[in-house]
């Protein structure tokens, strides 16, 4: 089975992580709509650079949630959407300078091996020369320090590039305190005041889209998501033991509650052979390449979500759905620390991982209403922080 899983992961990696070709000009990306929006005014044009994607459920929903958060403050923004991966050139800079400003984010953009380049060292290949040619306000919003445990550090030119961004930007809005503290290691102290907390907009979905579903009405099933990108960093040599332990706990859960596997992208499904080997009954729900509203509707349903992906904890949280986070990347624990519930995470590297996971899951299932109430109160705080940040940015763009 282990060879089958490795073969499957290799095929998925080749398909989804090929380096995209750079283009001289980018057409604006048209996003699907969740809300009925007012007519746009061309004078309020803002360029939005993000990892727009229909291959990953989180990256499908996040850019739209970001824009709708800004639209809450200023409904007449005309968004000009640009993919993050091509090299920033004069054509894009000219488009940016013909707008009121540029928003970069959200997502785990500070990662060296997705869209690897020797220009910036992170996902946006923007040289300092191109950065200096931008004449309108720049905002980084809801971005994350996504370096994996045990992964090589960023190249030296990352420090130079991100320092230039810190100096020039209105602010660098990072989605958790852990990312803030990590990024400070690369930026001189004189620019630390430019770094601020900007939670991922998926964490307050019920505040942003209160009318599209009843977030308080949970169905009697448990959802599970796993992640396998860079599995050697996530699990190390004990990957088989960790996944077997996970499957054993899910077997116990499935004997009391129906189980649904939420797949954000095809590589997530590498876990399915483990469920099958332990004869775990489950229903597969594919969330990649679906309308973002459907992602919200699915995550608003479960009594509990057990998630290994960042957005498999943040999206359900945003839908008032209780969560248990399987921590195979520091960002999951960082989020839980920020919301004041570090105990909602179970670390795969713990010697007592199986026991901890079992205890945490059944504790959550016994306290659904209390955890939903806590989530609701925290969402309001995250939403208020975000609106304040948007107001600050719009003021610099002379749009507020």
* Every domain of the chain and the residues it spans: 17-202+380-396, 222-379
**pLDDT at residue 23, as a whole number:** 45
| pLDDT band, very low/low/confident/very high, at 22 (cuts 50, 70, 90) | very low
**pLDDT at residue 324, as a whole number:** 98
CA–CA distance, 61 with 296 (Å, rounded to integer): 8
| Cβ pair 100, 46 in contact under 8 A | yes
Least confident residue range of 11-25, 43-57, 88-102, 340-354: 11-25
pLDDT at 210 over 80: yes
Examine domains 17-202+380-396 and 222-379 and report if their fold is the same.
yes
pLDDT at 43 over 90: no
pLDDT at 339 over 80: yes
Apex CA 105: angle with CA 99 and CA 107, to 5°? 170
Q: What would you report as the CA-atom Rg of the chain, rounded to the nearest whole angstrom?
A: 21
Segment 228-241 shows an average pLDDT of 91
- Show the DSSP H helices in the chain as ranges: 2-16, 57-73, 90-97, 128-133, 156-168, 177-183, 205-208, 231-235, 239-254, 272-277, 292-299, 311-318, 330-338, 353-365, 368-396
**pLDDT at residue 378, as a whole number:** 98
Query: Considering the domain 17-202+380-396 in this protein, what is its CATH number?
Result: 3.40.50
CA–CA distance, 110 with 122 (Å, rounded to integer): 5
Q: Give the domain 222-379 fold.
A: Rossmann fold (3.40.50)
């Amino acid at each position: 089975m282990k060879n089958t899983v490795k073969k499957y992961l290799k095929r998925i990696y080749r398909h989804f992580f090929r380096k995209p070709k750079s283009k001289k000009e980018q057409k604006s990306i048209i996003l699907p709509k969740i809300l009925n929006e007012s007519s746009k005014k061309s004078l309020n044009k803002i360029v939005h650079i993000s990892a727009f994607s229909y291959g990953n459920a989180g990256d499908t929903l996040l850019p739209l949630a970001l824009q709708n958060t800004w639209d809450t403050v200023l409904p007449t923004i005309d968004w000009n959407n640009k993919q993050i991966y091509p090299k920033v050139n004069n054509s894009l800079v000219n488009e940016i300078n013909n707008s009121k400003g540029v928003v970069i984010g959200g997502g785990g953009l500070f990662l060296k091996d997705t869209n690897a380049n020797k220009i910036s060292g992170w996902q946006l290949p923007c040289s300092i020369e191109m950065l200096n040619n931008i004449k309108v306000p720049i905002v980084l919003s809801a971005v994350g320090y996504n370096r994996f445990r045990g992964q090589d550090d960023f190249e030296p030119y990352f420090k130079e590039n991100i320092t230039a961004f810190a100096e020039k930007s209105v602010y660098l809005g990072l989605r958790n305190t852990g990312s803030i503290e990590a990024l400070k290691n690369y930026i001189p102290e004189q620019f630390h005041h430019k770094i601020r907390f900007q939670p991922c907009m998926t964490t307050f979905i019920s505040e942003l889209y209160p009318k599209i579903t009843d977030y308080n009405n949970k169905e009697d099933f448990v959802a599970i998501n796993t992640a396998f990108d860079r599995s050697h960093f996530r699990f190390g040599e004990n990957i088989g033991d960790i996944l077997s332990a996970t499957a054993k706990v899910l077997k116990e859960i499935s004997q009391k509650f129906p189980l649904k596997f939420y797949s954000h992208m095809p590589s997530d499904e590498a876990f399915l052979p483990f469920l099958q080997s332990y004869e775990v009954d489950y229903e597969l729900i594919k969330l990649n390449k679906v309308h973002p509203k459907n992602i919200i509707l699915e995550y608003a349903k479960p009594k509990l979500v057990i998630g290994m992906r960042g957005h498999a904890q943040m999206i359900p949280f945003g839908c008032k759905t209780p969560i248990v986070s399987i921590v195979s990347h520091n960002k999951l624990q960082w989020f839980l620390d920020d919301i004041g519930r570090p105990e909602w995470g179970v670390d795969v590297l713990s010697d007592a991982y199986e026991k901890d996971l079992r205890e945490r899951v059944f504790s959550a299932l016994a306290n659904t209403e209390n955890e939903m109430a806590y989530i609701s109160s925290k969402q309001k705080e995250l939403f208020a922080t975000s609106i304040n940040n948007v107001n600050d940015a719009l003021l610099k763009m002379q749009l507020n």
